[in-house]
Structure 1
Amino acid sequence: MSPLVALVVGLLLGGVVAATVILRSRSDFGQSSDGAAVPLPEAALARRLFDLMDPAIVVVDADDAVILANPAARALGIVRGTRLLVPELLALSRAARTGGSRRGDVRLPGDLVGSGPRLVGVHGVRLDSGTARPAGPVALVLQDVTEARRVEAVRRDFVANVGHELKTPVGALALLAEAIEGAADDPEAVQRFAARIAHEADRLARLVRELIDLSRLQGGEPLPDLVPVDVDRVLAEAVDRTRTAARARELDIVVGGQPGLVVRGVESQLVTAVTNLLANAVAYSTGKSRVAVAARARSGFAEIAVTDSGIGIPRADRHRVFERFYRVDQSRASSTGGTGLGLAIVKHVASNHGGSVTVWSEEGLGSTFTLRIPLAGPADHPAAGTPVVATPLSLENERS
């Protein structure tokens, strides 16, 4: 335990002990000779300190009855009257009463907390450690570690996924290099293997580039100042970047919607987000069809909707498509050349701009991804209405 952490825990437990002594010994002090109550500044300050402590603190006696609980603890819903409602907390307090100190993580049910399941780190400390018999009160100090544990899990998964994703193209490049060496006297084979090497190298470069982009978007670098950005220019640049891939798959990209919208943002990030949505639509479209992109103003936001008539997304996968490295159909990863990062980048671009991205999809009918970015000024704010994500995109004022 670091000196700083030890100091904080010492202060917390000192406050708990002081408050415990104050409440359990009221009859011994705080009175004048004639029996009149005399307020003690030390008692008031100790109780005030206890109530203002950010960690949730509960003190239970030898019979596991709650004798003290600060507002933070009661807000968690773990205390009712003199009862501690979570069996795991009772077990930890009993272990601390026997062993002097115990630590552990305890999961609080969502219906108990009222805001979804929470994970709390608990430090249980016996307060009468100087006595020979473990029969005194125990203090439980609870700190919400839900987000910290989630971030740790995401970081572990991210490192594992990056290793796996990098291993695939690197391994392919090594095998193809050996194949070229063994086919040195076969020009056609060399040309074929060289084309595959170029493909894998491009995939590796794209993966590294998107990892860098994602790192920047997640806080690795400060977000540039938001400035007015012309949505029409964003759409034109994104379509231009995607047109070659669309033509290779015999797809048309159609642009429509409301022209002249202006948002506040970073143009390069917005172009990347729309490009990723278009590239995703192109990759998962089937047959000779078209991909549509349209913008409109609604409820103070510019909504940029990208619609395809492709294979669609199964219902069970829709809430996960914005996760890093997640692919609905792993078997199509090599054929589409996707890294599984494109939609995650879109999500972070939207978040950094104070917006959001949503998806509507039906298997066999296609998908509509809608990027919502705040408009630049009050003059651009339209009347409220139904979000475009509720139904597939309809093109109005279509322009190519």
Structure 2
Amino acid sequence: METGWLVLLSLALGLFVGAGFVILLHMAERRGNDAVTAVSSGVPDGVDHMIDALDFAGLVLDPSNNVVKASETAYTYGLVANGLLVHEEMLRFVARVRTTGDSVNEEITLARGPFGEAIIHLDVQVARLGARYILVLAEDRTEAYRLEEVRRDFIANISHELKTPIGAISLLAEALEPASDDPEQVRRFAKRMGTEATRLTQITREIIELSRLQSTDVLASAKLLDIDAIVSAAVDQNHVVADARGMKIAVGGSRKVKVMGDETLLTLALNNLIANAVQYSPDGSRIGVGVHHGDGVVELVVTDQGIGIPEDDLRRVFERFFRVDQARSRNTGGTGLGLSIVKHVVQNHGGDIRAWSQIGQGSTFTIRLPEATAETAASRGEKQR
């Protein structure tokens, strides 16, 4: 009997201890959930979605500077590694925000990639996010810096290019008065002044043309054009100079090809390419102008047998005022704007331009434009001829 009571007492004690243990576990779990809730409550709802939607760098740091959320761009910029913000200057901004509570908005420059060859400029904003977290946003301003640099270079180049003919005209004008009794000297100075004035006029006209190309949408008023007419007009504009030097301009390829665009501008672009080919080719050589089309693309190809362009310079030939041979360009009246105008004309027509060259064997420039189809013409109320 006594043994039975002991067994019952042991069972009761076991149940009591087990129940107590279960209660302790439940309380511990509840406290853990409460703690998680308390921590999470400092992060506003929707932060994850906001970071994912950013098209620039964005990340959230916890009190230990661990990255709890980061956009894809933050990794692309190399700001995050092993779950940490790795840029020292940004970490200093974060520390300042934690200390003062005031937001930070600064511009920084950092190397992009492990080799440090590419530089990016970032507009960085750092601010508190709730009670515990820090929000870091970084927007790439590199393109704005590049455009500002291009603008400065353009102004500097214009000043330099205009100064040359203006200075020459001024000196020649001063030389005319002492030479007034020498008709031969007067004629020589007057002829030189005329040459410099023509050069000054050409530079001014091309600068205005380039500015117009960069500020207007050619395709907004595009018309259905016959490439044959454009080729014929551009070739005619160069025949006199070519004939005088015993050069032949040969035209071949596809006929009756159509594009949408501005006839004056496309003729100007092709004329510039042919004029360059004539200018930099030897007397008695051959210039080829070809038209090809297929797969919805029209190609205008200008080939010469000239001096060629070094490989290092070939990438820069479409830059404003860039000239492969500075001395020769000045002697022939080149402004360094012709190929830049060609590039902008072609781009405004939805196309591109490519260059190939080899020293001593000549150069080939290819304009590629979208071909106008019957459907394109119909959509604009045009009729194919």
TM-score range, shorter chain: 0.7 to 0.9
Cα 1:93–1:176 shift into 2, 3 Å? farther
Give, in whole Å, the separation in 1 of the partners of 2:106 and 2:375. 56
Q: Deviations over 1:163-183 (max 9, x none)?
A: 111111111111111111221
2:38 paired residue number: 28
Q: In the alignment, does 2:307 pair up with 1:307?
A: no
1:57 paired residue number: 58
Q: How does 1:235-384 map to 2 (within 5 A)?
A: 235-377=231-373
User: Which AA in structure 1 matches 2:158?
Assistant: V
8 Å Cα contact 1:270/1:349 also seen in 2: yes
Q: In the alignment, does 2:155 pair up with 1:154?
A: no
Q: 1:127 deviation in Å?
A: 3.4
1:103 paired residue number: 106
Cα 1:190–1:221 shift into 2, 3 Å? farther
Give, in whole Å, the separation in 2 of the partners of 1:254 and 1:284. 17
Of 119, 139, 142, 1:143 maps to: 139
Give, in whole Å, the separation in 1 of the partners of 2:320 and 2:278. 20
Q: Deviations over 1:203-248 (max 9, x none)?
A: 1111111111111111256654222111111011111111222233
Cα 1:307–1:29 shift into 2, 3 Å? closer
Q: Can you give the 5+ residue segments of structure 1 that lack an aligned partner in the other structure?
A: 1-23, 32-39, 131-135, 381-400
8 Å Cα contact 2:219/2:348 also seen in 1: yes
Of 179, 182, 187, 1:183 maps to: 179
8 Å Cα contact 2:259/2:371 also seen in 1: yes
Deviates more, 1:352-361 or 1:47-56: 47-56
Give, in whole Å, the separation in 2 of the partners of 1:50 and 1:25. 25
- Secondary structure of 1:127's counterpart equals strand
Cα 1:92–1:326 shift into 2, 3 Å? farther
Q: 1:97 deviation in Å?
A: 5.8
Q: Deviations over 1:105-150 (max 9, x none)?
A: 233524799xx9462423243639x9xxxxx865432001121111
User: Which AA in structure 1 matches 2:204?
Assistant: V
Normalised by the length of structure 2, the TM-score is 0.79
1:127 paired residue number: 128
Q: Can you give the 5+ residue segments of structure 2 that lack an aligned partner in the other structure?
A: 1-33, 377-385
Give, in whole Å, the separation in 1 of the partners of 2:353 and 2:149. 24
Cα 1:300–1:189 shift into 2, 3 Å? same
Cα 1:29–1:155 shift into 2, 3 Å? closer
Percent of aligned positions that are identical: 43
Give, in whole Å, the separation in 2 of the partners of 1:25 and 1:303. 69
Cα 1:366–1:30 shift into 2, 3 Å? closer
Give, in whole Å, the separation in 2 of the partners of 1:70 and 1:256. 54
Give, in whole Å, the separation in 1 of the partners of 2:267 and 2:128. 60
Q: 1:51 deviation in Å?
A: 4.1
Normalised by the length of structure 1, the TM-score is 0.76
Q: 1:297 deviation in Å?
A: 1.0
2:213 paired residue number: 217
Give, in whole Å, the separation in 1 of the partners of 2:243 and 2:319. 28
- Number of residues paired by the alignment? 341
Q: CA RMSD in A?
A: 3.3
Q: Deviations over 1:62-81 (max 9, x none)?
A: 65432443455345453244
Give, in whole Å, the separation in 2 of the partners of 1:147 and 1:57. 19
Give, in whole Å, the separation in 2 of the partners of 1:261 and 1:192. 48
Answer with 1 or 2: which has the greater Rg.
Answer: 2
Q: 1:54 deviation in Å?
A: 4.4
Cα 1:145–1:237 shift into 2, 3 Å? same
Deviates more, 1:365-374 or 1:249-258: 249-258
Q: 1:287 deviation in Å?
A: 3.0
8 Å Cα contact 1:88/1:106 also seen in 2: no
Give, in whole Å, the separation in 1 of the partners of 2:99 and 2:155. 40
Give, in whole Å, the separation in 1 of the partners of 2:68 and 2:194. 71
